[in-house]
Structure 1
Amino acid sequence: MSKLETKTWQGVRAEVQRRIRSRAWKPGDAIPFEADLAREFGCARATVNRALRDLAEAGLLERKRRSGTRVALHPTGRAVLDIPLIRKEVEAAGQAYGYELLSKALDAAPPHVVAGMERSDAAHLVHVVALHRADERPHVLEDRWIDPASVPDAATADFSTKSPNEWLLENVPFTRSELAIRALPADPDTAGSLDVAEGTAILTLDRATWLEGRPVTFVRLLHGADHVIRSSVTA
């Protein structure tokens, strides 16, 4: 962000919020002093103070006299739907986790992916299809598209042993995410992978993420029977 954009308290707030959301500043981290931020952004200290007060009121920061300002460990007043690590989700349920890479290719994005990533064209993206198992039963079919313009390493990443779900969570931050939940009839390929009858209603999650306005990934997660989605709200 340029100094011109951070001359106002709204601009400073936007940049601080970006650093929090991208995990450049992680929960519990102490952030720089107001005077240091003012020098970095080229603005008055009062401008920084106004921005930090606003973020503290929104629950993203914790401000204490003499101990400075930290990123809130538990941001308040907002619903949180985590992006789960599927492996840990299975293991937390006391089940044995299994993973199989079904395919990886550079393909032209289909219309639902183009729309989901808010793209203007059907660019060639890294397309990965993988199956997650729980106690050797199909658990989640991961049908993922990754934009190599935003994530160059995805083109050469080895997804044969580590899922793109896990690889992205470890390596690529995001600043925005959108999620859609629906039931879709299983097509022949999905039915075969999840071991269900063709046409069976499948719990389906479509999720897209962006980093600073650039599309990162679009994934369609198709779930096996008895899957439960959990979310939490901190007050």
Structure 2
Amino acid sequence: MSGPATASVTWQSVRAEALRRIRTREWPPGALIPKEAEIAEELGCARATVNRALRDLAEAGYLDRRRKGGTRVTETPVRRAVFDIAIIRHEVEQSGASYGYALLVDRMERLPEDLAALLDQPPGTRWRRVIALHSAGKRPFCLEDRWLNPVLVPQKRADFTASSANEWLVRNVPFTGGELSFQARKADTALASRLGCARGNAVFAVERITRTDDAAVTAVTLTYAPGYRLTTTLG
């Protein structure tokens, strides 16, 4: 299958070939696999085709892809939970409640040092910070505290006065990867005031960084009012 790139080689066929090599131990557990450009040249396809195939295998748990660290075969392939980036308005409306939205903050701010490091940004970098409150009926539903890469999401291009950054990003900026974490936390005075709960109440928070290729798009903390339940599927 070597030779010049051809449209006849699909990402599905590249995925099948890569999976064959994993299962036959041509690429054994823990092994660093060839670079995307090398695989593309061997199979006679575009690098983007290889990228799509390897991303799919990573999502399925067969590969471990690390930024600047290459791609390795996982020691023990696992099935993974699938998380979609949901539009918060849809979550509220699907529950049968009326949706409300209020923009609280939209300004340029200096990234906190720890967050700048996670985003591979130099100290002192200024990003666009957006804080908004989503409500269900008359009750607070979710506080969205988001940092946005101003190169990818400039203020003149994206106005969040009437609709959220969450919704705009899902519809306008494709992402290729990121990091996700979940935690329970106690509401401090400011958070309790915004979420309409008592200080010290347990609330559920989702922290997410999304990237497109090698650039970070956004870092967001979504904090939900008491009673929120997360549901996902196993893939």
- 1:25 maps to which residue? none
- 1:202 maps to which residue? 203
Aligned counterparts, 1:144-159, within 5 A? 144-149=146-151, 151-154=152-155, 156-159=157-160
> 1:34·1:45 contact (CA, 8 Å) conserved in 2?
no
- 1:84 maps to which residue? 86
Is 1:213 aligned to 2:214, yes or no? yes
Structure 1 pair 200–116 and aligned structure 2 pair: CA distance change class (3 A): farther
Equivalent position SS for 1:33: coil
> 2:140·2:225 contact (CA, 8 Å) conserved in 1?
yes
- 2:100 maps to which residue? 98
Alpha-carbon distance, 1:105 to partner: 0.7
- 1:141 maps to which residue? 143
Equivalent position SS for 1:173: coil
Structure 1 pair 58–154 and aligned structure 2 pair: CA distance change class (3 A): same
Distance in structure 2 (CA, Å) of the matches to 1:199 and 1:32: 58
Aligned AA (1:92): Q
**Percent identity (aligned):** 33
* TM superposition score normalised by structure 2: 0.67
Distance in structure 1 (CA, Å) of the matches to 2:126 and 2:232: 33
- 1:71 maps to which residue? none
Provide the alpha-carbon RMSD of the alignment: 3.4
Is 1:177 aligned to 2:174, yes or no? no
> 1:104·1:127 contact (CA, 8 Å) conserved in 2?
yes
Equivalent position SS for 1:222: strand
Higher relative CO (CA 8 A, sep ≥ 6), structure 1 or 2?
1
Alpha-carbon distance, 1:143 to partner: 0.3
> 1:116·1:218 contact (CA, 8 Å) conserved in 2?
no
Alpha-carbon distance, 1:194 to partner: 0.3
Equivalent position SS for 1:34: coil
Aligned AA (2:225): G
- Give unpaired runs (5+ residues) of structure 1: 1-6, 13-30, 36-40, 61-76
